[in-house]
Structure 1
Amino acid sequence: MTSFASFGPPVDGAPGYRVVAGPGQALDRLLLVAGRLVAAEEGPVHLHRGEEILHVLSGRLLVRIGDLRRECGPGEVVAVPADTWHGYRALTDTVLEVVAEQHIGTVFPVGGGQLEVYRADMPWGRTPPTGQPWTSDTEISEILASLDRTV
């Protein structure tokens, strides 16, 4: 099956992410996600078990990949290898697209170790292992408040 879609971030200027192409659009392995970030919004340091590409369409981001930090603007592409710590801070309101493998999960650095979260609202999220629940809003808030690494 083939699918056609229009690209664009969430409507009405709202911040957040919108899946443009993925499982609901005939793809089994890839996601195309459009994002709108407000100035000072952070994507805290985390990693995925698969590859990801960030493409800045407008605005400016401070991006961290491993120990490298770089300010990125319109037209710049950031390739994030699997299992690599990365994060960002929007320096201005920013629109970007993200291409990633599906079901690559999100892992945060917590307490000197690594903790994977299981969220149905994360487009690249993974289903929890059998017997383990989805990560609640309260748990994700506590995890984000205790992160070991920052952008």
Structure 2
Amino acid sequence: MSNSQMTQPTTTLPPDDLSRKATIVHADDPGLTHLGVGAGTYTILISGEQTGGRYTMIDMLVPAGGPPPHRHDFEEIFLILEGELEITFRDEVHHVGPGQSINIPANAPHGFRVVSATPARFLCICLPAGQEEFFKLVGEVLPTRTTPPTPPTPEVMAERRGIMLANAARFHSEFLPPRG
């Protein structure tokens, strides 16, 4: 194939959107949003606002536990950096560790829990974006990526659960009854 054949456009692409900038970020950069969600600390690395709503990327540091079984209408990818997760996907259990990735298709029932003796750290990419806005509603703002959330009182837990349930449909999510 000649160079002229390789550069011939096969479709017409829209023009470059010069209002959008490249995003270069380190998980410990000042100015990032760090949220206590459950037992974990979630750092929004790249927001939907920065990607035109295409995706969001969140650095998750979770010492124990995980979310209840749920499903949502967006794709979710986990890239494990440290620790190990047990991910239940459509009633099938998968163990994933450092260097492994798993894609959870939209609408599929799933959940995870940390099974390593040390905290799990992983990147979560949601396509399209929006999940970071849900976490902002239910999370506690924290000063750093490694600051653990304040252990919630029963009243705070009930309040956050109410917020989660009241906003699940708005964020295209559904919480499922525990299995087993």
Bin for the TM-score computed over the shorter chain: 0.5 to 0.7
Pair 5,15 (structure 1): closer, same or farther in 2 beyond 3 Å: farther
Tell me which structure has the larger Cα radius of gyration. Answer: 2
Q: Which residue of 2 aligns with 1:66?
A: 90
Establish whether residue 46 from structure 1 lines up as the match of residue 60 from structure 2.
no
Question: Which structure shows the higher helix fraction?
Answer: 2
Q: Distance in 1 between matches of 2:78 and 2:164?
A: 25
Q: TM-score, normalised by structure 2?
A: 0.57
Hey, what's the Cα distance between the residues in 2 that align with 1:22 and 1:83?
22
- Measured in 2, the distance between the counterparts of 1:53 and 1:120 equals 16
List gaps (5 residues or longer) in structure 2.
1-19, 29-33, 139-158, 167-174
CA–CA separation in structure 1 for the residues paired with 2:87 and 2:74 = 18
| Count of matched residue pairs | 123
Q: How many percent of aligned residue pairs carry the same amino acid?
A: 20
The superposition leaves residues 25-54 of structure 1 with CA deviations (integer Å, 9 ceiling, x where unpaired) of 24321111110000x321211111111101
Say yes or no: does 1:98 pair with 2:124.
yes
Structure number having the greater strand percentage = 1
Aligned-partner residue type, residue 162 of structure 2: E
Question: How many angstroms apart in 2 are the aligned matches of 1:139 and 1:65?
Answer: 25
RMSD value, Cα: 3.4
Matched residue, 2:111:
87
Shift, 1:24, TM fit:
3.7
TM superposition score normalised by structure 1: 0.66
Question: Residue type of the partner of 1:148?
Answer: P
| Partner-residue secondary structure (3-state), 1:8 | coil
Distance 1:91 1:19 in 2: 24
Of 40, 57, 66, which aligns to 1:15?
Answer: 40
2:24 aligned partner, one-letter code: A
Paired with 1:25 and 1:50, the residues of 2 have a C-alpha distance of: 18
Establish whether residue 25 from structure 1 lines up as the match of residue 50 from structure 2: yes
Q: C-alpha deviations, 1:91-150, integer Å up to 9, x for none?
A: 121100011121369xxxxxxxxxxxx946269xxxxxxxxxxxx52515889xx96225
Structure 1 residue 19, shift from structure 2 partner: 1.1
